[in-house]
């Protein structure tokens, strides 16, 4: 079984399903995809991409974690902070150890649990005002006592479906004592459609994406081509086509200067189907042909 670090190097962490496949996250109580998981990270773990397959809450017991959204907004989570994540989010997690290990709980709620929770309030009692992008809740000692009880249940081997359901509902009601907007967050999570957009900046930092077409990049980012182009220009102030060509040519210059790869090999490696087009574009930017650059550095 792989660690989170090993697994996330080649895979998006689909939570909670992927958590059953990694060795350094512990399942405390669970019934199918709902339940409580626990992680205790002793080393840095950065740029972990994950997708919320069902709604969940992340609660930081100690240490701190940075969550980055698909729009490249960051949310710092400190000790005793909970954050509600609705279904269908593509996010990135970064943990750099400063003094304490990152100890955190992940609590997952199936639709029927959220329905039961929301049903305790009348619809007109649930505030319909705007919520922050990700709802963060500062918690107190009641939540600490709650997780102590979860750890004790784990030690006692208590894991019946009925008990899991009761404990999940208890957790949501305890959160509501600290911030009643949790009702609204749960309600909106049930109403919202899935929107698995990926973080463009982190996606495009991967050199392998230079080989892809604009259409491929849009699909990979979870956007239509028009939405991808709009979001891209908002971040980079340039069209995806211009950006991709500049990045490809910069990469080509580096490979031609520092490796033994041929001009044809470099062109193919960067996704150019036509070598002549590659040579023409390269010369327009650097005022020298790829072959001349190779000869110059030999």
Q: Where do the domains of the chain lie?
A: 4-191, 200-297
Task: Give pLDDT, residue 178.
Answer: 97
Residues ≥6 apart with Cβ < 8 Å to 138: 80, 81, 178, 179
| Residue that has been written with the tokens 């030690």 in this structure | 155
Q: Inform me whether the pLDDT recorded for 179 exceeds 80.
A: yes
Calpha distance 267→73 (Å, rounded): 35
> Mean per-residue pLDDT for 35-51?
91
Task: Give pLDDT, residue 20.
Answer: 86
- Please tell me the CATH code under which domain 200-297 is placed: 1.10.10.60
> Mean per-residue pLDDT for 176-193?
85
Do 200-297 and 4-191 fall under one CATH topology? no
Q: Which residue has the higher pLDDT, 297 or 240?
A: 240
Task: Give pLDDT, residue 213.
Answer: 80
pLDDT band at 192, cuts 50/70/90?
low
Question: How much of the chain, in percent, has pLDDT values that exceed 90?
Answer: 39
Alpha carbon of 20 to those of 23, 56, 75, 122, 155: distances in Å?
Answer: 8, 16, 26, 36, 19
Calpha distance 34→64 (Å, rounded): 24
DSSP helix, strand, coil percent of the chain (3-state; round to 5): 50, 20, 30
Q: Inform me whether the pLDDT recorded for 206 exceeds 80.
A: no
pLDDT in tens, 208-237: 677 778 887 887 787 888 888 998 898 889
Q: Is there a contact between 221 and 228 (Cβ–Cβ < 8 Å)?
A: yes
Average pLDDT over the chain reads 88
pLDDT band at 3, cuts 50/70/90?
confident
Class of domain 4-191: mainly beta
């Amino acid at each position: 079984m792989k660690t989170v670090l090993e697994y996330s190097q080649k895979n998006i962490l689909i939570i909670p399903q992927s958590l059953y496949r990694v060795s350094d996250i512990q399942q405390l109580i669970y019934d199918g995809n709902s339940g409580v998981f626990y992680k205790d990270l002793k080393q840095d773990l950065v740029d972990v991409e994950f997708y919320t397959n069902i709604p969940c809450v992340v609660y930081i017991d100690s240490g701190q974690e940075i969550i980055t959204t698909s729009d490249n907004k960051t949310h710092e989570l400190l000790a005793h902070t909970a954050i509600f994540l609705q279904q269908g989010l593509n996010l990135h997690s970064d943990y750099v150890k400063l003094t304490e290990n990152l100890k955190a709980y992940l609590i997952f709620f199936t639709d029927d649990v959220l329905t039961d929770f929301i049903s305790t309030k009348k619809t007109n009692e649930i505030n319909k005002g705007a919520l922050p992008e990700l709802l963060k809740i500062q918690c107190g000692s009641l939540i600490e006592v709650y997780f102590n009880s979860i750890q004790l249940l784990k030690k006692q081997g208590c894991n019946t479906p009925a008990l899991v359901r009761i404990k999940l509902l208890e957790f949501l009601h305890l959160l509501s004592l600290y911030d009643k907007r949790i009702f609204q967050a749960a309600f909106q999570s049930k109403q919202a459609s899935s929107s698995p957009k990926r973080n463009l900046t982190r996606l495009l930092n991967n050199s392998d994406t230079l080989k892809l077409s604009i259409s491929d990049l849009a699909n990979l980012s979870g956007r239509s081509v028009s939405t991808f182009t709009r979001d891209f220009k908002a971040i980079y102030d340039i069209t995806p086509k211009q950006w991709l060509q500049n990045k490809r040519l910069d990469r080509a210059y580096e490979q031609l200067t520092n490796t033994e790869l041929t001009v044809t090999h470099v062109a193919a490696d960067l996704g150019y189907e036509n070598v002549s087009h590659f040579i023409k574009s390269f010369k327009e930017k650097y005022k020298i042909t790829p072959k001349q650059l190779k000869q110059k550095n030999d």
